[in-house]
Structure 1
């Protein structure tokens, strides 16, 4: 994943389109911001009028005038209250909605990424990007345009009014603002970098916690709790040091602002006092001037305080965009059509493959034709490319060279949905979702009825043990199916494929991790499942594939032997060596 930090302007240009759906809310929010700003800017003018009028001719100020002014200001405060409520409620809801839209886009993009992305990215980092990183976006999306718009209005209005009171003093005050901005730029950049580093480390910390919790049985089995605690504490302390550095730059940033804040008040007191002595400014004008400078400084302080939130939001957007920029390697080509007339013939034409991150050849110039309904077994030493070969059929990866066809149709020219609906996969490492037995089987064909799910379970040999569970098909299986045995999980996964009913079946060492009794039960289920389907079986135990129509031996990135069980034994080649060595090992056990 690209960790290069994007420029603020680039990030903002990519983020702004998320406001499009909420244009009316944003416009109304900015109108309300204008109303609150106007209401706030009126008070110094009122005090200026009362003070100057009182010094000039106190008798001209009547109770009726004062009450009228008070009623006017109270009316403005009512308007201010209603506008503020809209900004605080609807504005925040808009920010939350934008965060939701971004999270939906991120999750949708993740569904399009290939296995290669997930092989090289920690799940904890991904989780951090689509959860905690986007939490900051709610406040950012709402307050960013609002705060800068209010600051712009107050600055312009203050400059106009202050210039009308005393232009030289106003120019002197406003000359300090760009100097202050330049002085703070360095610390602002450092805060941004520190927040980015902080977010990256949160992802690493999440990955550490996830790894330790998911492997908690291994941790306890080896009595390595202390080691896990030490590793976590080390990462946790490193996170503290990163935050310490972040707060250091934030403190320096805020302190710089406070220094300039004080400097502006000094200029107002000294220069304003001198101007008043020389008759260049009236007392009431100086009071109003001081109030407007206070408003201006409060605006600057508010922007500075928002700077931390701004940097947090920009960091979240930055990391979101990094995820969205992850390349989608597997996608529907332009003009892709659904896969039709499926008999189950699979053809590999001069197929080669290497993983993009290491460039090591895994398959080299594979030519293979699997007939409809044929049962083909893949055997060979570990690392020979058996699983990779099967992963190319449903396009978990694309070949580096060559092409794969199903019933004469190039799988790159058909839609992914229709292709993957055609291929059923039963893996050694079964994954069950956190939910009920019914929900896990129904995942094979969402919307299936209870009768259809039960029928699939019966064919998979799972119905008997399922009905023996506490709540039957409504039994909660736990995270990753931890409440079930390996054989039970495997039969549920087979029932899931039965329900899917695909014409092409891939069995990836589906029984290698099971005990003998479970293996026998699962093998019977797989035998029923493969009947009438084109089946490719990756075999660890060679005794399970003796009845295959054809056996392919993969080694050194290519097919080195081919034939049925008896033919390959007669050749006395690699298959013979594998079979005899496995048989001897089983006898010794």
Structure 2
């Protein structure tokens, strides 16, 4: 029960619903075990002794009990559902909140489909046991306890003889649980892999179709689906092997009851009605104990789900505010790197090695280099998406760890190479970082990003609802909306991670002209592969394998004939020359 103890904070505040449900369950169970008593009275007194006058009273009492039981059953089920739903409402909120604050390092290896499975199937599995499984467990205990008490009242010897095989049933159920719980844990993991595969396929459908890999994707899905099917069959096999054994033990109890009980009736030590009541009561014990397998089945699924939920809740938030973190509305944007070294994983090479530079407020810093050279790593460290392994990063002379994450990131505008847009209106997407912005401010930001013109060509203009991930817009249009979104928060530090890679040269020129105005007074970091995007930078830093190999202005670097920057320039210039020659 350790899993449920650790998740107690989510359901215990709603214990009044749980205990209310159990109270009505107690009433339901008490009425249930009265049925055999009514049957015994009817047979022994109304039928055998001929006391026919009590039959109307028995019938009236039975109807009254049924009405009471109906009300109690409704109350029990409603309060039980209320208990489970309220609990997982808090749990689901906590899980989603946890996802928002987990560092980038976690998402580097996390699978979207698996996370979705945890927030849906696993949460629902845990809710089902809270609403249904706990109650069934208490029902089993109450029903067995009440029934055994009445059986002892009727005949102690018959009760003890009949229930002699119960320990064997309990041992069988215990062994069943030991096998079925690991099986259900594997089912949950397999389901997570299956949903991950579906999510990846849908997200990458353009790539799949463009490369005609539909059959390959189908085969991969079939493999994942087969694994899920095989694990379910394995679990069903466990159930199929143990359930007949449990049923056999129960039938042995019935045979013993009928044999020994019938002999007691013949000897006059037991009334016929009592034997009939005994027969009903023994099934009130055997049935729940056999149903214990189903309860354990539910418990095992819920426990497996709870363990997966705890794995997520226990993930370490290694990037968070200090207790004395500074909350500053506006920073100047003076960025300094002092001997910064960063490594994403201990088994990987250094992403950055002993990086030092100074970017005064309002300066433009260009970052260029081959893929994997460390350009994006620098900008991610500025925003504290990751923590460096060594060295120090300062903003306005303060270590960035001194600032609260909110005040730091609200002063940094980031436009990534792959722009993400939400499934909402263009207006809401642009205002995402500044939801209180007026429409006039939104339009002004869009104009600066060269997005206003194409937005107004859409049927609904700024109220146009975008499809998932901005479907319906070109890559360049999505990027310009992302640029407008960044401009609108009025950041002190602006990071453009290859922000114009998806636009044509003409549009890039317009955006660069707009950026020159936007960059005034802001510290700007530009990651680009086109030298045309870096020419106006105050300093260009050339990176290779996490180290700075060159630095200087465009003119200084272009004059270094043996430098990497000059080689990049020559390649791009040659490409432009070849294209121009072909067009002629």
- Judge conservation of contact 2:169–2:289 (CA < 8 Å) in 1: no
- Judge conservation of contact 1:192–1:311 (CA < 8 Å) in 2: yes
After superposing the two structures, state which structure 1 stretch, 161-170 or 546-555, moved more. Answer: 161-170
Partner of residue 472, structure 2: 483
The TM-score normalised by the length of structure 2 is 0.94
Tell me how far 1:298 sits from its aligned partner: 2.4
- Judge conservation of contact 2:432–2:485 (CA < 8 Å) in 1: yes
Alignment coverage as a number of residue pairs: 578
- Alignment partner of 2:410: what SS? helix
Instruction: Deviation per CA, 1:129-166: give whole Å up to 9, x if none.
Output: 11122222232111122111111111222222212222
Tell me how far 1:226 sits from its aligned partner: 2.1
Partner of residue 578, structure 1: 568
Instruction: Deviation per CA, 1:387-412: give whole Å up to 9, x if none.
Output: 00110011111111122121122221
Cα distance between partner residues in 1 of 2:482 and 2:245: 62
Tell me how far 1:315 sits from its aligned partner: 2.2
- Judge conservation of contact 1:422–1:502 (CA < 8 Å) in 2: yes
**Structure 2 counterpart of 1:165, from 154, 167, 173:** 154
Cα distance between partner residues in 1 of 2:559 and 2:94: 57
Tell me how far 1:206 sits from its aligned partner: 1.5
**Structure 2 counterpart of 1:556, from 545, 548, 560:** 545
Tell me how far 1:343 sits from its aligned partner: 0.8
Distance 1:493 1:172, change over 3 A: same
- Alignment partner of 1:131: what SS? helix
Instruction: Deviation per CA, 1:77-111: give whole Å up to 9, x if none.
Output: 21111111122233223322322222211111111
- Alignment partner of 1:361: what SS? coil
Tell me how far 1:340 sits from its aligned partner: 5.0
- Alignment partner of 1:526: what SS? helix
- 5+ residue gaps, structure 1, are 1-8
**Structure 2 counterpart of 1:99, from 50, 67, 88:** 88
Q: Is 1:431 matched up with 2:420?
A: yes
Tell me how far 1:271 sits from its aligned partner: 2.0
Tell me how far 1:439 sits from its aligned partner: 1.5
Partner of residue 236, structure 1: 225
Partner of residue 542, structure 1: 531
Distance 1:357 1:197, change over 3 A: farther
Partner of residue 399, structure 1: 388
Distance 1:446 1:176, change over 3 A: farther
- Judge conservation of contact 2:137–2:295 (CA < 8 Å) in 1: no
- Alignment partner of 1:75: what SS? helix
Partner of residue 200, structure 2: 211
Cα distance between partner residues in 1 of 2:330 and 2:506: 39
- Judge conservation of contact 2:338–2:356 (CA < 8 Å) in 1: yes
- Judge conservation of contact 2:427–2:463 (CA < 8 Å) in 1: yes
Partner of residue 3, structure 1: none
- Judge conservation of contact 1:187–1:252 (CA < 8 Å) in 2: no
- 5+ residue gaps, structure 2, are 580-584
- Alignment partner of 2:559: what SS? helix
Q: Is 1:115 matched up with 2:104?
A: yes
Tell me how far 1:345 sits from its aligned partner: 0.6
Distance 1:93 1:139, change over 3 A: same
- Judge conservation of contact 2:11–2:88 (CA < 8 Å) in 1: no
Tell me how far 1:508 sits from its aligned partner: 0.6
Cα distance between partner residues in 2 of 1:525 and 1:132: 48
RMSD (Å), alpha carbons: 2.0
Cα distance between partner residues in 1 of 2:329 and 2:238: 62
- Alignment partner of 1:106: what SS? helix
Cα distance between partner residues in 2 of 1:18 and 1:72: 42
Cα distance between partner residues in 2 of 1:524 and 1:128: 46
Partner of residue 17, structure 1: 9
Tell me how far 1:22 sits from its aligned partner: 1.4
Partner of residue 372, structure 1: 361
The TM-score normalised by the length of structure 1 is 0.93
- Judge conservation of contact 1:462–1:492 (CA < 8 Å) in 2: yes
Partner of residue 31, structure 1: 23
**Structure 2 counterpart of 1:520, from 509, 518, 529:** 509
After superposing the two structures, state which structure 1 stretch, 344-353 or 445-454, moved more. Answer: 445-454
Distance 1:508 1:562, change over 3 A: same
Instruction: Deviation per CA, 1:246-300: give whole Å up to 9, x if none.
Output: 2111212322221111111112112222333333333222222111112112222
Cα distance between partner residues in 1 of 2:393 and 2:439: 37
Cα distance between partner residues in 2 of 1:516 and 1:258: 77
User: Which structure 2 residues correspond to residues 70-149 of structure 1 after superposition, within 5 A?
Assistant: 70-149=59-138
- Alignment partner of 1:347: what SS? strand
**Structure 2 counterpart of 1:502, from 491, 511, 522:** 491
- Judge conservation of contact 2:21–2:77 (CA < 8 Å) in 1: no
Distance 1:69 1:14, change over 3 A: same
Instruction: Deviation per CA, 1:470-492: give whole Å up to 9, x if none.
Output: 21111122111121122211111
